[in-house]
Structure 1
């Protein structure tokens, strides 16, 4: 990679880092092929320097080399992701059998996840979408919650030790589900009241299991016990309110809701990410911590720019802009036409979203 002055942009150069406006809105995403119009616009916006891909001699990468670099990066992400899934499964199964928690191995796993999570940029949702479609399980859910918890922590300017803590909380927050029969967890239809009440106890089961396994860090224990609490007191197991809920639990609950909505469950199809963000938005000022929820909504919206989406009129287009107040109604370019979904009430993004461009 190489940093150059904006005035030095030449058609065909490839952007290596996302560019944000002064209002912190994504303007150009990593991987964009630059042209003269980009050069003029960036200069007019007062952006003086950008980063581009280069070869070992410092020359701009040709398109084929860029795609090769992206492919290698995706393969590394996938390798680290599945290693984290396998390690998590082994650690938690061992903990359940022996009541021994291998914290060192868990920390190593999270330390491998953090740099990949933070350097994937706006391609992260695409990578997770492609990977999870192959083999979804409780352990892919845990890694997903860990990744989103790390992202939220970074957006809240937490330091690395805190990011590791959040990553660990995300991985073991659902520890108690190992005490719930799989026939209940995987039931394709609505749960009976008895089964639902049993599932609700997983927070208590997990908390007890963590104590028996000598997990003593307050933030981790709080995430296990409180991730289904809500700031208005409507959650479980105790119905406590905002002042009594640990910050780690507040972060994990947002990550957990978003990841769960994106997941394919026995009783429903996955929700597309645009509407998943709407769900978070609907809870931002009554169920969730407002600062954490609004930070998540504001920052995750950047990850939708450049996404290819299927519309309910049969057309497929690219998201070119998004109003954070209406995340499910972006502006979509279809060939030479632009739809503003805020002004097209009958036009919707359908459930199956084509993965964003890599």
Structure 2
């Protein structure tokens, strides 16, 4: 494509941009035309002349054009991985139709697979948020929640033991639903108050199942019990607040929420991952742990830089800069131009592609 020039303040300079016109301040030429911006140059200009305007473009062979591109082989590997672990998870939960406890060896094996896979984080996230049918949500939700929870644990610097226990709890967080009538769980319309109260029992039912497993660390069952508790006391089953909630439970709450929002369900259609991050940001002011939400959002935004998106007008583009205050409206580049979506009233991102 033809290189598209855009005029931006120095504060928005990014590595990989190329100066299209000599950058002159007070009659002093600071950058020559066609100089590629390094991170060091960007930092220096931002620090010294944050409001100065520069004319820049991204060349076709710049960092942007090669930044975080998924290969077809990587996506196929990820899909095979998800199919395998989802099948194992399905067998694990099916056991509860005839037994009152899950096969702990299956849980250990699943956890090991999740913790040792070398599939890149961005590929995992892309696979998690791919549009799927309703049946796939039921099969994949526990796996997706566990992967997201482990990512948060790693971003927190958790030890191998804590990551393992967190993965156990996330894999099993909805195990209590196996004891609830499917007609209620998959009811297409609104639940009655009594039906909703039945669904809310799943965290307690899961706790009762897990506390009977010999030698299983108590933190796993407690996290399952508390993954629907909320910072302001509006959650269940006990309505406890803040530091009284299990740390694993807080992490699972964020992972569970993100996966639910980005998946099609019986009673609600999915929203885009970026819109889901905005909703989690808003929840951080009331119901979800603010520090964990900030960590999750910051790292997810980093993973989405360089991703292709589909716009509401049918065009496609690439994310090149994001702002936590307008996550769903980043700065993007298309075949035609740079677009700052936060300044566009009529254009928005439909999905990550």
Q: Same fold (TM over 0.5)?
A: yes
Residues 76/349 of structure 1: CA separation in 2 closer, same or farther (3 Å cut): closer
* Aligned residue number for residue 189 of structure 2: 189
Deviation track 1:165-219 (CA, whole Å, cap 9, x = no partner) reads: 1111111000111111112111222111121111111111111122234474222
Which SS does the other structure have where 2:136 is aligned?
coil
Distance 1:228 1:245 in 2: 10
* Aligned residue number for residue 112 of structure 2: 111
Cα pair 2:15 2:42 within 8 Å, conserved? no
Cα pair 1:95 1:213 within 8 Å, conserved? no
* Aligned residue number for residue 159 of structure 2: 159
Structure 1 segment 1-358 matched on structure 2, within 5 A: 41=38, 44=41, 70-116=71-117, 119-130=119-130, 132=132, 136-214=136-214, 216-350=216-350, 353-355=351-353
TM-score if structure 2 supplies the norm length? 0.77
Find the structure with the greater CA-based Rg: 2
Cα pair 2:96 2:178 within 8 Å, conserved? no
Residues 186/326 of structure 1: CA separation in 2 closer, same or farther (3 Å cut): same
Distance 1:342 1:110 in 2: 40
Distance 2:193 2:200 in 1: 11
Q: Name the stretch that deviates more: 184-193 or 265-274.
A: 184-193
Residues 162/172 of structure 1: CA separation in 2 closer, same or farther (3 Å cut): same
* Aligned residue number for residue 9 of structure 2: none
Which SS does the other structure have where 1:101 is aligned?
coil
Q: Name the stretch that deviates more: 245-254 or 127-136.
A: 127-136
Distance 1:307 1:168 in 2: 31
Distance 1:258 1:196 in 2: 21
Distance 2:91 2:282 in 1: 37
Cα pair 2:311 2:349 within 8 Å, conserved? yes
Deviation track 1:122-141 (CA, whole Å, cap 9, x = no partner) reads: 23322234485696132300
* Residue 105 of structure 1, CA deviation: 2.9
Cα pair 1:321 1:331 within 8 Å, conserved? yes
Deviation track 1:149-172 (CA, whole Å, cap 9, x = no partner) reads: 000001101122211211111110
Cα pair 1:122 1:303 within 8 Å, conserved? yes
Which SS does the other structure have where 1:212 is aligned?
coil
Which SS does the other structure have where 1:240 is aligned?
coil
Residues 80/119 of structure 1: CA separation in 2 closer, same or farther (3 Å cut): closer
Distance 2:215 2:230 in 1: 24
* Aligned residue number for residue 34 of structure 1: none
Distance 2:15 2:152 in 1: 21
Cα pair 2:101 2:209 within 8 Å, conserved? no
- Cα RMSD of the aligned pairs, angstroms, is 2.7
Cα pair 1:99 1:212 within 8 Å, conserved? no
The alignment of Structure 1 onto Structure 2 pairs a total of residues equal to 300
Residues 286/27 of structure 1: CA separation in 2 closer, same or farther (3 Å cut): farther
Cα pair 1:101 1:215 within 8 Å, conserved? no
Distance 1:137 1:274 in 2: 19
* Residue 100 of structure 1, CA deviation: 3.7
Residues 262/317 of structure 1: CA separation in 2 closer, same or farther (3 Å cut): same
Cα pair 2:129 2:259 within 8 Å, conserved? no
Distance 1:38 1:86 in 2: 52
TM-score if structure 1 supplies the norm length? 0.76
* Residue 232 of structure 1, CA deviation: 0.9
Cα pair 1:219 1:249 within 8 Å, conserved? no
Distance 1:329 1:183 in 2: 39
Deviation track 1:109-128 (CA, whole Å, cap 9, x = no partner) reads: 22212233x64132332223
Structure 1 unaligned spans of 5+: 1-25, 29-36, 47-65
Residues 137/274 of structure 1: CA separation in 2 closer, same or farther (3 Å cut): closer
Which SS does the other structure have where 2:178 is aligned?
helix
Structure 2 unaligned spans of 5+: 1-13, 17-33, 44-67
